[in-house]
Structure 1
């Protein structure tokens, strides 16, 4: 897998840096002149980082190789990082104290993705104008919500389909997720801020009593590398997405409801594939089911229930890659 890193500098209209990575394989070059070839755009969940998608992408690319001429044509995949997470959180540490960015939100993540995608031709050349590609949006949790918001931002970006994984959405009003919000905020505020070593973090996260013990080992390794950074002042490691920033994301008053309005429109305009976890360890099942209630008028190209909890990309990236592969091929079956 070929990986390239990109950094978009701050601008007056968006005064924080935006980082992204481009993933492809050498044989994807043969699709460069194919207008139907897909460019994937991926957004991640709260408290993670852009590299958390690497195991899923690696396994997806393996499926594409095995599929040969019958596989969907892919040009590349872009993963855009939420600016207060991962490497971006470290780069933007001081800028995130500015008014309007101290309380980061789902909308701000969508804005970051929009700015990155709509300015791509200015820093990669007109031949790499991502806006002109056949775009497929893939988002998990926070990233799913931000992907939905992205659909109405101007100037508009045209996506051919969306794959929405465990969205933090409630069609029944904000109170339906209030217990979850309280739990997530309480947990984030109790996080250990400083660690003596990455191995100390690994040992803690591998505790069988923690959800992180279920993660794919590749995801855990990437978390240790990209979700932590060295704090020279304290001579310890700290989380790149600070507990304060994580709490701000969870307290976003509109983050779980406003994207439903976008979904109501989008699902009639393009195929939306919904991927959910069977284990209701975060979002209650009835909240998920309200999204595809027949009385809502919403429709989905497919609905897939997977044997996992909320953190599907972290727990079962290989199985998720197969679901994404099916959705990209255009003929997935509903797995209710």
Structure 2
């Protein structure tokens, strides 16, 4: 295990792709096999099309944190693509995918009525996100027989990525990058106060604005969101906020926008009784079978220091990176530095694989 305090060191290249990042949106309707809508996006560069049949090319799957959406990863992916497409980079990427948790983002809007049914009402969980990802992979849109599949998850997404590894049939991931996973190896009671604070915050959070312009101004004024990268705020206003349902009605309708992940759905995720503890054994096992990289923020603004310490000690990670000056919302606060960290893990795994092949 190596501990890397990745602080003020600059990126090796300007964090802008030489070619515009391309994207494709996909939506899958409910079926008898899975009762909810699923929405995902595929990202790639034109240069990556040459890697389609390369067995060493990487497909990356990104899972987001509670109250966010798949597009929150766009600044990180954009910078990661820039690093991987630089002239001397040995890393080959085929594509990246990001998937909405079914009660978040575009999926949350499509599933709004279904989520009011008894099976799901105030009863969503980390495991349900994992089940959604498993169904998405089962559809076969990502050809897991080609290349290498890398799982990247932040907070809720890190928990769901871990839980996914216990759902049969298993999919052939080659490595994982877990960023501030909301796990408590020493017991769920260490997160009790945090859960109470998060549920309270979810219900007190402003969730309606007259329009997106006012929503943007409001986010820019909030103390916590002031720390977000401007590109992340932009994606939140574009994809984490949607037309208020009342605006669809005629005369006297409310004309405004609201959160894609409702207060109730956000609070339901925080109340998940098993999410922080159930996958701990799986995490430890994965450390023995796969390169698993842990990324933490230096500032303990969400997870208590003792929880950070327990997460570090519970597994033999391929690497542990502490990003200086960042808190729990690493994806939102420092996407460029996070992209460099993810790139470094891919580089490390590539070198280790080459070393194994050379010995053979």
Instruction: Calculate the TM-score normalised by the size of structure 2.
Output: 0.86
| 2:229 is the alignment partner of 1:216 | yes
Tell me what 2:100 maps to. Answer: 81
- Report the Cα offset of residue 88 of structure 1: 1.0
Larger Rg: 2
2:118 counterpart of 1:99? yes
**What is the rounded CA distance, in whole Å, between the counterparts of 1:211 and 1:71 in structure 2?**
37
1:245-324 map, 5 Å: 245-293=265-313, 296=314, 298-307=315-324, 308-324=326-342
CA contact (8 A) 2:292 2:319 kept: yes
Larger RCO (CA within 8 A; separation ≥ 6): 2
The one of 228, 239, 246 equivalent to 1:226 is 239
The 1-side partners of 2:92 and 2:174 are apart by 14
Post-superposition Cα deviations, 1:50-72, rounded to whole Å, max 9, x if no partner, equal: 00000000001111122x35331
CA distance in 2, matches of 1:18, 1:93: 12
Q: Give the secondary structure class of the aligned counterpart of 1:41.
A: strand
In structure 1, C-alpha distance between the alignment counterparts of 2:213 and 2:183, rounded to whole Å: 35
Provide structure 1 residue ranges, at least 5 long, that are not aligned to the other structure: none
Superposed, 1:136-147 pairs within 5 Å as: 136-147=150-161
SS at match of 2:85: helix
Displaced runs of 4 or more, over 6 A: none
Q: Which residue of 2 aligns with 1:155?
A: 169
Q: Provide the rounded CA distance (Å) in 1 between the counterparts of 2:146 and 2:125.
A: 28
Supply the distance in 2 between the matched residues of 1:75 and 1:258 (Cα, whole angstroms).
Answer: 33
Residue 50, structure 1, aligned to residue 70, structure 2: yes
- Paired with 1:291 and 1:26, the residues of 2 have a C-alpha distance of 38
Tell me whether 1:326 sits opposite 2:344 in the alignment. Answer: yes
Answer yes or no: is the 8 Å Cα contact 1:131–1:157 preserved in 2: no
Judged with a 3 Å threshold, the aligned counterparts in structure 2 of structure 1 residues 116 and 131 are, in CA distance, closer, same or farther, namely farther
State the TM-score, normalized to the length of structure 1: 0.93
Counterparts of 2:344 and 2:108, CA distance in 1: 34
The CA distance in 1 between the partners of 2:319 and 2:119, in whole Å, is 37
What residue ranges of structure 2 are gaps of 5+ in the alignment? 1-20, 352-360
Q: Is the 8 A contact 2:91 2:347 kept in 1?
A: yes
Instruction: Please report the RMSD computed on the Cα atoms of aligned residues, expressed in angstroms.
Output: 1.6
Distance 1:42 1:48 in 2: 12
**SS of aligned partner of 2:36:** coil
CA distance in 1, matches of 2:295, 2:200: 27
Q: Number of residues paired by the alignment? A: 322
Q: Is the 8 A contact 1:21 1:80 kept in 2?
A: yes
